[in-house]
Structures are given as C-alpha cells and as structure tokens.
Amino acid sequence: CAFSVTMYRHSYICFCKDYAFTETDVTVSVLHVVQARLAYVAAEGELKQPFKDELPTRQAQLSTLQDTEEFDVLVVGGGATGSGCALDAVTRNLKTALVERNDFSSGTSSRSTKLIHGGVRYLQKAIMKLDYEQYMMVKEALHERSNLLDIAPHLSAPLPIMLPVYKWWQLPYYWAGIKMYDLVAGGQCLKSSYVLSKSKALELFPMLKKDKLVGAIVYYDGQHNDARMNLAIALTAARHGAAIANYTEVVHLLKKTDAGTGKEKVCGARCRDVITGNEFDVRAKCVINATGPFTDSLRKMDDGKNTNICQPSAGVHIVIPGYYSPDNMGLLDPATSDGRVIFFLPWEKMTIAGTTDTPTDITAHPIPREEDINFILNEVRNYLSPDVEVRRGDVLAAWSGIRPLVTDPNSKDTQSICRNHIVNVSDSGLVTIAGGKWTTYRSMAEETLDAAVAAHRLGGGPSKTVGLVLEGGQDWSPTLYIRLVQDYGLENEVAQHLAATYGGKAFDVAKMARVTGKRWPIVGNRLVSEFPYIESEVRYAVKEYACTAIDVIARRTRLGFLNVQAADEALPRIVDIMGKMLDWSDKKRTEELEAAKKFLYLEMGYRSRSEQLTGTTEITLDTQEVAKYTNRFHKFDKDSKGFITTVDVQRVLQNISVQIDENALHEILNEVDLNKNGQVELNEFLQLMSAVKKGQVSDSRLAILMKTAEESLDLRGPVTVDRSGGGV
C-alpha cells in the first residue's frame, strides 16, 4: 500500500491510494479550512442583520408571513435541516419564510446522541468494502464537524471518546481504523488519537471493567447541545431577516397552473396558527419540504400518488447520574449484542447512554420502551466494573427519537436505504430534503438551496454559511462566565451554564435575573436547587419564541431531558412566570401544567421510572428484612393505623429537630402512595423497599428520610438522669 504524505500546519495527512484517497483530497481538505476563514470574513463584512439588537416577536413574524405578497423560499420544518435551509436562503439575499407545526427542534433534532461526528463505523465500511461513497460521506461530515465547532463555540466542544480493548488482536485493528479517521479529517482533525495502557485507561476511566482489559484507544469527536444548536440556527436566520414561526402548521399546499407548460406548480401553503386557530396563505416561488420523519406527509399533499420514502427507526437514549462516567471522557462500545454501536457520554454533568435501532411507526410523540431501556443498561453493565452497580432506578430520564432513514425516489431500486441524504424536486416544483444526519445539516441545506435556485431560477448567489457564526457565538470567550459573576453576582455554576448556553447573549439573560435577597448569589433564583437553570431563563425563553411550558423544560433549558422529577418540580414556577408574561388565564395555566406533566410522563420516561415501583406487587424481601422495615414503619405509625401520613412523618422529624416544608412532604409521600389515597400503607412501604433492594428504584426520598430518621432516633436513645440535671 503506497502512501503519499503532505504536511499542513504541523498536521501530517496520509492517503492510501489503494482505497481511492488522492492528492486532490489533500488540496480539498486544506481548501476547506481556508474557505471557512474567508467565508467568515465575507459573512461578517457583507451580510446585514436587520434584527441585530432585538428579535421580532412571534406575532410580528406571523404578520410578516401574512402580509408579504410572495417569498422566494418557504421552508416547512423547523428542525436542524429546515432551520439550516432558512439560514442558507436568507443569507443568499432570498426573501425567506419558515413554518414549524410544533416548536423548533421538537422532533428528532433534540433527541440525538449529542455528538458532532464523521461516523467511525461508516469509515470502517468504506475501507472494508472499498466504498468510495461512504468515504466521501465521512469526509464531508468531518468537514462539517470542524465548521460547526467553529461557528458555535459556546454550544459545542471536542470530546475524547475511549474505545476499550479486551483482545490483543483488536488493538492494532482498532488503532488502524481510528488513525484513518484522523487522516481523513486531515487539517481539520480535532486532536490526534492515541493508545493507552491498561493502567492509564483505568486511571482516566476508573469505573471501567478491569478483567481481560488489554488497553484502550482514545479519539476525538465533537459534542453539542442539540436543541439549543437548532434554536441558534433558527434565531440566526431570523436575525438576518427570515420570517420564522413555530406552532404554525401547513394545512395544504397552494398550486397554480404554469402558463408555459400547463402543469400545476406549488406556489405556497395554507397555514394555521396552532395556538389561535387562525388560517392564512403564505405564497412563495419555492417550497422546501424539510419535515424529517414527516417527509411523506408533505409529499402526499403535493401528489397523493407518491409512495412513502421514509423508513423510520427509533433510537432510545437514557440519562443516568454523572458519577457513571468521568467529567470529560466518553466511551464507545463498537460491538454490542445486537451489532449496534453504543455510546456512553458525559453531558451537562450527567451521563447519556444509547442508542437503539428498531423499526417504528411515525409519530410526533415517540415513547421510550422499557425493553430498550433495559437493553442499554445491560450493555452498560458489560463495560463497567462489577463494583459499580448499574441500577434501573438510576435512570433519570429516557427519550426516543425517530431517525428519518429514506429510500431515493430517483433510484430504480426504491427498496434500498439511502446511506446519506436525498434532494428531490417533484414535477410540481416541491423541493424535498430527507435523510442525512445532524452533523451535515449545513451542507444538506446548501445542496437543497442549490437545487431550489436551479429549479426555480431564484438567483441570490452561492451559499455563505460556511464560517457564519451562529446566535451567541460572536461575543463568546472561554472566560465570559467570569464577567457574569463579577458584573451581576451570579453563582459560578450558573454563570458557566449561561455562558455555555447563550454565549454572548448570556448578559441579556443575566439582566433579567431578579435579586435573591441573599448575601450570595446576589441575583439568579434557581428553578430547582440541583440544576443551574434560573428563573430569568424562562422570561428569556419567551423572547426566543417559547410558547408552552414544554418548550422551556425540553428545549430552551434541557431539564426534562436530564431529570424528569426535577423538571416536574420546576413546572409550577415555570407556568407561573410564563402565565404572567403571556397573560394566561387560570384555565390555560392548568392546561399547560397538565400537558407538560403528560410530556414528562410519556415522552421523557417518567412513566417507566414510576412503573418500577407500581408495575409490580411482588415483595422479594426475606423474613429478617420484612421485620426490619416493618419495625421502621411502626416508628412512624405510632397509633398502629396501618398507614402513615404527612402528620406522622412531621411528628417524627420534630423529635429529631428536622423541619421539612409540608408541600415537600406531600410530594415525598406521593411518590410511594400507589393508590393515591393520601397515605402510605405498610404494604406500599414494603413494595418500595423491595424495589430499592432490586435496584428498580434509587434515590427514594421517603426511603432515605425514614432510614435517616430511624438512625437519629436510635442514636439519641433515652435521656439519662445525669444529663437531665439529676432530676432537680
């Protein structure tokens, strides 16, 4: 195998000619870096932002959609690809509109693995099968990875990922594959991969299984906050003048007869404001279908005879406590029991594990299945030390995202899955972009707009989005959070979170923060104590087009994705703040609260979490354990009623000088109150302790509270005569 080696800025790029790597690729790799810098300069110098200081309100955006005689481009779909199309179009000086029937990033784009990557397994297939198409797909993704890290430095960062090796022969095999990954990235390689000895691997990842471990290989990919990244793309499009509106659905497509050909052509869409029910027409020279899993719905609006091209696949992820992984090191399992790759990644001080790959029906509200959650947990157990007990009860949240895998309608073999993405222009002029991956959203958007411009003769020039910095990235620096602490008196953790979430816009959020009345922090009341989200983020979320409480817990903050119980506790305050800003009636507030609770219960895994206790009536405790827990229960049930209430718990806590708010006590007991009668029976308590023993439930507040109270009572014991002053 003959190699050609080129040096670019101290990076050595090797290309294997037997696998179709050419000298041209070297030039392209170098040119991509240069083009990104030039595009950034050009974008900064030429592009104007009509709304640089203040974004138009959602109502103003809706008015623009209704009052504009004709747009050049109407994008349907507010996910990463749709928002990318809107940004690409508006920066080409095309009059641009975007509508999304739910919230921006409400679907697949917020439910990813949070990685910005080229696809290690695709490169493996490219080499093993000499597949040039797969190789070019990886190369494009690596270029886009580099660009995305540049244009949104506050929302993304390189992440080292460890690949543990348990067989000697795998070490050179995996090392060669990972090194090739670096080489294909060329000058855009984040950091060079390296090999670790067994001892060094355990030092960096101490919870790793030691038995038969040979060593490990560490490589680098990018990680981001996917929903916030999607929102940043959409808001950047709005800053440049695109009229964008969430909760605006397409009822049907508008058509007119082409005078030249006599054929019907798509010329816009009839839209409906989901919140008010108001319907209106949006006319456009070109309509782009970027609806992800719902691609076929819009294609059939265009032509009812169109066959389905989307083949949806469900990918489930779970969130477990941060102590399961190091703060800055991910883990890759390259060969799970079902052949899929499993990632185990630190994210937002928690740990994400996933993903599965199972056929599914298309739905706007995918629900994580219990069997998928348990599959991921079992795979995690295979790689962690036996000392680390992986408990089902440690799953803090779980979600399912639908991958919109597609077949190419232009291909003769319509049954074969397209490995990348497809851009299709129908006879009526509807432009469809489908498939692809998060990392390549920008290049997919560029290709889509190129096709739209050619098909509809729109003009507007070439794409300008390479190097175009996204919302919040312009004024961000790694030390920005220090200024937030110094200037506003925010907690250090809160300031770091704001800087990493909003970038340069973090100061706008800080300005809206209320005084706490404490010595420190001076401003910034938290929504829940263990997470750095503060109340002013809810107010700022409304400026970012948040319309519901779900928008706040799922996409403006990521609380619902990180801990369903914490999100549930924060909801009343979130609804209260939004209600005041949006003038909600009492009825509307109740509806919002219930809708958000349902979202957490079904889509974020709260049901799966609670069913670990309620789903089984079997008590697997031995005789001694039953006696032990019965005795503990009766220390609270002094009157031998057979149940305990908040009054009983409060009485015991007073005896040990502990005070807990009555509302908090109600919440604690409600978690265990299976029949919801306002009291916890002995049988319910034994079920709880049985579930705790099996690892189905962890961090039960009632279990820990009663154990701590019992230990405090036992330590106190009877008061002696000496200590009472001799009876005097």
CATH number of the domain residue 392 falls in: 3.30.9.10
Shared-domain flag, residues 503 and 602: yes
Residue 691 makes CB contacts below 8 A (sequence gap 6+) with 393, 612, 613, 616, 697
List Cα–Cα distances, 82 to 105, 237, 270, 303, 631, in angstroms.
Answer: 10, 11, 18, 21, 60
Q: What is the CA radius of gyration of the chain?
A: 28
Using the predicted structure, report yes or no on whether residue 141 has a pLDDT greater than 50.
yes
In a domain, 379, yes or no: yes
Q: Is 351 helix (H, G, I), strand (E, B) or coil?
A: strand
User: What CATH number did the domain enclosing 567 receive?
Assistant: 1.10.8.870
Q: What is the CATH number of the domain that holds 286?
A: 3.50.50.60
320 in the same domain as 206: yes
Q: Residue 473: inside a domain, yes or no?
A: no
Q: Among 104-108, 183-187, 196-200, where is mean pLDDT lowest?
A: 183-187
Q: What is the pLDDT of residues 303-331, one digit of tens each?
A: 999 999 998 999 999 999 999 999 899 99
Single pTM value for the model: 0.85
Please give the angle made by the CA atoms of 99, 572 and 548, to the nearest 5 degrees: 5
- In this structure, are 194 and 320 located in the same domain? yes
Average of per-residue pLDDT values in the chain: 87
Judge if 107 and 210 occupy the same domain.
no
Q: Is the pLDDT of residue 11 over 50?
A: no
If asked whether residues 283 and 349 sit together in one domain, one would say no
Last residue of a domain, one of 346, 370, 405: 405
Which of 548, 577, 611 marks a domain boundary?
611
Mean pLDDT of 109-119: 93
Burial class of residue 20, CB neighbours in 10 A (0-12, 13-18, 19+) = middle
Please report whether residue 464 resides in a domain.
Answer: no
**Cα–Cα distance measured from residue 7 to residue 186, given in angstroms and rounded to the nearest whole number:** 9
Q: Note the pLDDT of residue 28.
A: 40
SS3 of 435-448: the string is ECCHHHHHHHHHHH
**What CATH number does the domain containing 652 carry?**
1.10.238.10
Do 484 and 593 belong together in one domain? yes
Does some domain include residue 727? no
Check residue 612 and give its pLDDT.
63
Which is nearest to 173 in space by CA: 198, 195, 141?
195
Q: Is residue 375 part of a domain?
A: yes
Q: Which ranges of 361-491 would DSSP assign to H, the alpha helix?
A: 370-383, 441-456, 480-488
Does residue 676 form part of some domain? yes
Report helix, strand or coil for 268. strand
Residue type, 50: P
Domain hosting residue 93, numbered range: 25-111+228-307+411-456
Distance CA 710, CA 656 (A): 10
Query: Where is 219: in which H helix or E strand?
Result: strand 215-224
Residues 445 and 492 in one domain: no
In a domain, 321, yes or no: yes
| Residues contacting residue 703 through CB under 8 Å, at least 6 positions apart | 688, 689, 692, 697
Mean pLDDT of 662-667: 78
Rounded Cα–Cα distance for residues 329 and 484 (Å)? 28
Instruction: For residues 520 and 606, state if they share a domain.
Output: yes
Do the bridges between strand 243-245 and strand 96-99 make them parallel or antiparallel, or are there none, so unpaired?
A: parallel
Q: Are residues 320 and 279 in the same domain?
A: no
Domain match, 660 and 605 both: no
What contacts 14, CB < 8 A, 6 or more positions away? 3, 4, 5, 183
Cβ–Cβ < 8 Å for 629, 392: no
Residue 120, in any domain of the structure: no
Q: How many residues does the chain have?
A: 728
Local confidence band at 227 (pLDDT 50, 70, 90 cut-offs): very high
- Check: CB of residue 438 under 8 Å from CB of residue 80: yes
**Upstream peptide bond of 479 is cis (omega within 30 degrees of 0):** no
Count of domains forming the chain: 4
Tell me: do 416 and 512 sit in the same domain: no
Give the tens place of pLDDT for each residue, 37-56: 444 434 444 677 889 889 99
Residues 316 and 401 in one domain: yes
Q: Given 585, 611, 637, which residue is the final one in a domain?
A: 611
Q: What is the pLDDT of residue 280?
A: 97
Direct distance between the N- and C-terminal alpha carbons of the chain, in angstroms, rounded to an integer = 98
At residue 655, does pLDDT exceed 90? no
Longest CA span, the chain: 111
pLDDT at 23: 38
pLDDT tier, 728 (very low <50, low <70, confident <90, very high otherwise): very low
Are the C-beta atoms of residues 468 and 151 closer than 8 Å to each other?
A: yes
CB atoms within 10 A of CB 132: 12
At 564-606, the pLDDT tens digits run: 999 999 999 999 999 999 999 999 999 999 999 999 999 999 8
> What's the pLDDT at 393?
85
Query: Which whole number is the average pLDDT over 426-438?
Result: 95
